[in-house]
């Protein structure tokens, strides 16, 4: 099987810069708020090369909005959703167990799809994984939130076609299941290759724009449910 595309692209970068260990939130500033939002995903959520992850910006925005909520970043580079569910993402136990260990969490984000496209994973596997993610989170008494991936510009027609199908599948399943979706792909459909440091990872300015958008959507969701 082809290696995850995000892993291939950043491997050289990480050797030069250092990845900082498996825990993606290690560089995230301490927040005084309660970590009620869990963020699972790949390296675009983790934070490229151990840099400040986008969840740090989200937490700053939540704090500025006067909300008692904060995000715990549980993402890891190279991950796929079906691996998270099975406890094979290289960081987290199976999702059921991971959620059991986070009793204060109210919202659970999933931000996958790029590695699934890069490995040409079967679309039905991804679709069933999204449904199982939603069912697992709901069974744990928490609220699932689907986050579509940032746009990519991979020079491979098969990967790009599957990426588009994956994004649409996420939207379809979220609608069928009545789940909130933060549609990053749609919000930034005008993004260009210049917004990325390679063909998949946002540069610092684009990371900030994405994080601000995600924070605004989370703030609306949290306030609606109070």
Phi, psi for residue 83 in degrees, rounded to 5: -70, -40
Q: How far is CA 95 from CA 102, 136, 170, in A?
A: 11, 7, 18
- The residues, ordered by sequence, that sit 6+ positions from 89 with a Cβ below 8 Å of its Cβ are 76, 79, 80, 83
Q: What is the pLDDT of residue 33?
A: 73
Structure tokens belonging to residue 213: 């958008």
Coil, strand or helix at 38: strand
CA dist 202 and 47 (Å) reads 9
Q: What is the pLDDT of residue 5?
A: 56
Q: Which residue has the tokens 């098969």?
A: 158
Tell me which residues of the chain have a pLDDT lower than 70.
1-32, 49-52, 226
Q: What is the pLDDT of residue 10?
A: 43
Coil, strand or helix at 84: helix
Q: Which residue has the tokens 């030069």?
A: 16
Class of domain 32-224: alpha beta
Q: What is the pLDDT of residue 23?
A: 38
Q: For residues 69 and 75, is the Cβ–Cβ distance under 8 A?
A: no
CA dist 74 and 43 (Å) reads 11
């Amino acid at each position: 099987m082809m290696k995850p595309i995000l892993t291939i692209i950043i491997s050289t970068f990480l050797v030069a810069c250092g990845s900082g260990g498996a825990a993606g939130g290690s560089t995230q500033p301490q927040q005084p708020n309660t970590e009620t939002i869990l963020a699972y995903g790949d390296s675009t959520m983790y934070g490229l090369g151990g840099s400040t992850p986008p969840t740090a910006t989200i937490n700053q925005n939540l704090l500025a909005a006067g909300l008692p909520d904060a995000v715990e970043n549980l993402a890891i580079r190279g991950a796929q959703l079906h691996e998270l569910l099975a406890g094979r993402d290289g960081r987290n136990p199976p999702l059921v167990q991971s959620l059991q260990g986070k009793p204060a969490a109210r919202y659970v984000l999933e931000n996958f799809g790029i590695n699934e496209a890069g490995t040409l994973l079967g679309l039905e596997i991804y679709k069933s994984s999204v449904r199982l993610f939603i069912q697992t989170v709901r069974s744990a008494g928490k609220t699932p939130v689907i986050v579509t991936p940032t746009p990519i510009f991979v020079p491979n027609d098969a990967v790009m076609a599957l990426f588009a199908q994956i994004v649409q599948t996420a939207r379809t399943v979220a609608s069928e299941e009545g789940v909130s979706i933060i549609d990053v792909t749609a919000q930034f459909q005008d993004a260009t290759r210049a917004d990325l440091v390679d063909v998949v990872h946002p540069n610092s300015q684009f990371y900030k724009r994405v994080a601000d958008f995600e924070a605004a959507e989370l703030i609306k969701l949290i306030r609606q449910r109070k």
